[in-house]
């Protein structure tokens, strides 16, 4: 009976620590090239083998709040730093152009699994330490929102002073359509507002600077499918 109890405990222990998420520090991840894949709907960060594109390890995360969204798109690691306090000891900076974004630890571990940050990706401190030492400068980072923007937690009407990937794509599209001549930086400033108003006037739409579904439909960009 004692042997049976020991076996049951061993099976339970192995099951607990063989789940899809990683919580214990892994020293075997170094000396490889990776892609970081972040799924904002699943609230997970995955390390993919860059050569085989296979999953190596997966971690739970927190992402930006709806009003301060994480930067959906394809980026790269452009900085690495040791940062204490709310960053949990480690920082991996991204090259998104409209704000300072990074992957880091947290002083609030209960926020993991939620929309809680100002746009950065939060991880448990033991997990960010593992990822920090596993990846190199220029590592690709994919922040994925699903097959359609409609299904992301960041679907919204875009207003002046908003920042984000949605603003970035609107700027790029209106620039292609010769309505916008400013910088494509993901920031809804006055030059973009003038471009939106001009486009709406020429297409018999309302006279507000709000970018909604009908506007995105009109420029062929609804939810960036």
Active site residue 104: yes
What is the rounded radius of gyration, in angstroms, for the C-alpha atoms of the chain?
21
Q: State residue 60's pLDDT score.
A: 99
Catalytic residue chosen out of the listed positions 7, 8, 104, 203: 104
Q: State residue 25's pLDDT score.
A: 53
Q: State residue 5's pLDDT score.
A: 45
- What is d(CA 78, CA 89) in angstroms, rounded to the nearest whole number? 17
Q: State residue 222's pLDDT score.
A: 67
Residues of the chain short of pLDDT 70, as ranges, are 1-28, 30, 148-151, 222-225
CB 71 within 8 A of CB 101: yes
- What is d(CA 196, CA 201) in angstroms, rounded to the nearest whole number? 9
Side-chain-facing half-sphere of 140: CA atoms under 13 Å: 13
Q: State residue 153's pLDDT score.
A: 86
Q: State residue 58's pLDDT score.
A: 98
The predicted-structure confidence for 201-220, as pLDDT tens digits, reads as follows: 999 999 999 999 999 999 99
Active site residue 8: no
The predicted-structure confidence for 126-150, as pLDDT tens digits, reads as follows: 999 999 999 999 999 999 988 766 6
Q: State residue 71's pLDDT score.
A: 94
The model carries a pTM of 0.81
For each of the domains in the chain, give its residue range(s) and CATH number, in order of start. Answer: 19-150 (2.40.440.10), 156-224 (1.10.101.10)
């Amino acid at each position: 009976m004692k042997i049976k109890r020991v076996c049951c405990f061993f099976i339970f222990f192995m099951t607990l620590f063989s789940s899809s998420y990683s919580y214990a520090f892994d020293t075997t991840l170094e000396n490889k090239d990776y892609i970081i894949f972040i799924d904002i709907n699943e609230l997970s960060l995955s390390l993919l083998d860059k050569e085989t594109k296979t999953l190596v390890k997966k971690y739970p995360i927190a992402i930006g709040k709806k009003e301060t969204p994480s930067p959906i798109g394809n980026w790269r690691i452009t900085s690495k730093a040791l940062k204490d306090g709310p960053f949990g000891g480690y920082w991996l900076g991204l090259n998104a152009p409209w704000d300072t974004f990074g992957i880091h630890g947290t002083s609030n571990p209960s926020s993991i699994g939620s929309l809680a940050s100002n746009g950065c990706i939060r991880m448990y401190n033991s997990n960010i330490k593992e990822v920090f030492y596993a990846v190199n400068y220029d590592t690709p980072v994919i922040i994925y929102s699903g097959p359609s923007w409609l299904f992301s937690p960041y679907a919204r009407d875009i207003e002046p002073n908003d920042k984000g990937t949605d603003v970035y794509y609107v700027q790029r599209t209106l620039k292609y359509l010769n309505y916008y001549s400013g910088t494509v930086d993901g920031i809804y400033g006055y030059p973009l507002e003038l471009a939106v108003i001009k486009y709406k006037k020429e297409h018999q739409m309302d006279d507000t600077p709000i970018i909604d579904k009908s506007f995105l439909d009109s420029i062929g960009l609804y939810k960036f499918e």
